[in-house]
Amino acid sequence: MKIYNHDITLYTHDRDPSVELYAGRALGLTNTQDKIQLAQSLQSEWDAIVDHYAQIGLPHTHDVIWNSSFEVINQFPDREISVYFFGDVINEHDTYRQLFHQWDGKYREIVEFVNSKNNFIQLSEEIGIPVPKTLRFANLAEAQASDEIMFPCFIKPAVSDHGVGIQRCANAEELAQAFATLVPEEPLQIQEEVNASAFLNLQYQVREGQIEPLLVSEQVLDGCVHKGNRYPSSHEPWDKVAPFAEWMGDRGMKGIFAVDVAVVPEAAGTRYVAIECNPRFNGSSYPTMVAKRLNIPQWSSGTYKTQLRSLNELDLRDIAYDPATHKGVILINWGIIQAGKLSVLFAGTEAEQAELETALLQRL
């Protein structure tokens, strides 16, 4: 039995009040015997999401703690812990890092290490995982002094916040503009642009100490920001990333992690290039896990803006997922409707997904 707290405030610098709403998307991962912590602001949406999940046949816990404080977890020492990110990259104080270290020191250390894009690239090079040409720098001054920079390139903070701060630079002038937006003391990397035909998300799950490949989906991107995923993918390069997955397992990784891989068509054949690792749940984890639980063979996911501010204003009953046909809409990140957004899964063929998207947009 688990206790879920997927609050993201220890992983994002975004201080908008709506950030607390994101923890609701973990509800679809829970079993009936689990506990889940949610912000009190989500309580007004509870009846609506319970009705929706009942209609689509998705079992989940009803044991809710309306308090998202991480300290609450200590009240349930017999529970396995599931959090969005097993650590704290936001606060200068060590209060939360010590808390996570108390729960599982090895797990916290591996998450913190791999969460650095620079560490991931260096490790990949050492163990033979193909990666793009990447220059790693300890701070901005080092990068500005480099004469090895190639164009076009992407400049990335070593620890980024959901894609924020990643910028494409076609020339030295654009690079200088990008440099001006960075924190001088923080590490960064400059990576060659990859001529990719697609970007994949390889999800792994750790169960009882064993690394299990979970699912490969194709990313839908808006620039550098993740907007959604589609499954199945025509590429499943598990073997290219296997040494890294084994390395993670040997060092105490738990829960969910994912590797982003670029698909690069070349004359000699397709090349697969690892870009980064998310040692945590990520945007595609939630639709992936729900789709696996319901055995959905084909789906896509996306996030949409809406004028609505409550699930009580949205009627999806006629287009909701039907287990008999494997077709329909499933609410994934439902709480963010209070902030004018909604993340959903569309189950069905590509044509059916398009029809469902149109039907949904007409109601938003």
pLDDT tens, residue by residue, 215-250: 999 988 776 677 899 999 999 999 999 999 999 999
The answer on pLDDT for 83 being more than 80 is yes
Once rounded to an integer, what is the mean pLDDT over residues 341-363? 98
The answer on pLDDT for 168 being more than 80 is yes
**In a shared domain, residues 104 and 187:** no
Residue 103 within a domain? yes
Percent of the chain with pLDDT over 90: 90
**In a shared domain, residues 98 and 139:** no
**In a shared domain, residues 107 and 49:** yes
Considering the chain, what is the average pLDDT of its residues? 95
Q: Residue 15's pLDDT is what?
A: 74
Once rounded to an integer, what is the mean pLDDT over residues 337-361? 98
Domain range enclosing 180: 134-192
Once rounded to an integer, what is the mean pLDDT over residues 59-68? 99
Domain count, the chain: 2
Between the alpha carbon of residue 110 and those of residues 105, 123, 238, 345, the distances in Å are: 9, 12, 21, 31
Q: Residue 114's pLDDT is what?
A: 97
Once rounded to an integer, what is the mean pLDDT over residues 38-44? 98
**In a shared domain, residues 40 and 75:** yes
Q: Residue 134's pLDDT is what?
A: 97
Residue 67 within a domain? yes
Residue 280 within a domain? no
Q: How many CA atoms lie within 13 A of 245 on its CB side?
A: 24
Q: What is the pLDDT of residues 283-315, one digit of tens each?
A: 899 999 999 999 999 999 999 999 999 999 999
Once rounded to an integer, what is the mean pLDDT over residues 19-46? 98
Q: Residue 91's pLDDT is what?
A: 87
Q: Residue 224's pLDDT is what?
A: 64
Q: What is the pLDDT of residues 101-136, one digit of tens each?
A: 999 999 999 999 999 999 999 999 999 999 999 999
Beta bridge partners of 192: 153
Q: Residue 37's pLDDT is what?
A: 99
Residue 7 within a domain? yes
CATH number for the domain harbouring residue 160: 3.30.1490.20
Q: Residue 253's pLDDT is what?
A: 97
